[in-house]
Amino acid sequence: MHELILHHYPQSPFAEKARLMLGFKQLSWRSVTIPPIMPKPDLTALTGGYRKTPVLQVGADIYCDTALIARRLEAEKHTPALFPEGHELAVSALASWADSSLFLHAVALVFQPEAIAPRLASMPPEMAQAFLKDRQGLFSGGSAQRVPLEQALQQWPTFIQRLSQQLARSDSDYLFAQASLADIAVAHPLWFLKQNPFTAPLVSDDEVVSAWLERVLGFGHGASEALASTEAVTIAQQATPSPLAATELLPLPGVSVGQQVCVAATDYGVDGVTGELLHADHEQISLRREDPRAGTLHVHFPRLNYRAQPVS
pLDDT score for 119? 87
Contact status, residue 22 vs residue 4, Cβ threshold 8 Å: yes
If asked whether residues 198 and 94 sit together in one domain, one would say yes
d(CA 213, CA 173): 10
**Are 69 and 169 within one domain?**
no
Q: List the CATH number of the domain containing 61.
A: 3.40.30.110
- How far is Cα 275 from Cα 287, in angstroms, rounded to an integer? 5
Angle between helices 103-110 and 149-169 (to 10 degrees): 130
Residues 37 and 113 in one domain: no
Q: How many domains does the chain have?
A: 2
Based on the fold, state whether residues 99 and 212 are members of the same structural domain. Answer: yes
- Where in the sequence is the domain holding 160, given as residue range(s)? 88-217
d(Cα 9, Cα 31) in Å, to the nearest integer? 9
What separation in angstroms does the CA of 84 have from each of 79, 177, 190, 304? 9, 9, 23, 20
Spatial CA neighbour of 2 closest among 241, 177, 195, 226: 241
> Based on the domain organization, do 209 and 229 belong to the same domain?
no
User: Do 185 and 231 belong to one domain?
Assistant: no
**What pLDDT, on a 0 to 100 scale, did the predictor assign at position 312?**
79
Domain boundary among 217, 232, 260: 217
Closest CA to 287 of 295, 94, 278: 278
Are 189 and 93 within one domain? yes
Contact 286, 280 (CB under 8 A): yes
Per-residue confidence (pLDDT) for residue 23, from 0 to 100: 98
Same-domain status, 92 and 192 = yes
Residue 106 shares a structural domain with residue 189:
yes
Cα gap 261→148, rounded to integer Å: 35
Last residue of a domain, one of 217, 236, 267: 217
Task: Determine contact, residues 109/149, Cβ cutoff 8 Å.
Answer: yes
Parallel/antiparallel/unpaired status of strands 55-58 and 61-64: antiparallel
| CATH code of 164's domain | 1.20.1050.10
**pLDDT beneath 50: ranges in the chain:** none
Conformational region of residue 119, where left means phi above 0, alpha means psi within -120 to 50, and beta covers everything else: alpha
CA distances from 111 to 90, 187, 199, 250 (A): 30, 18, 10, 40
151 with 232, same domain: the answer is no
Confidence (pLDDT) at 16: 98
Please identify, among 217, 249, 279, the residue that sits at the C-terminal boundary of a domain: 217
User: Are 211 and 117 contained in the same domain?
Assistant: yes
Whether residues 76 and 181 share a domain: the answer is no
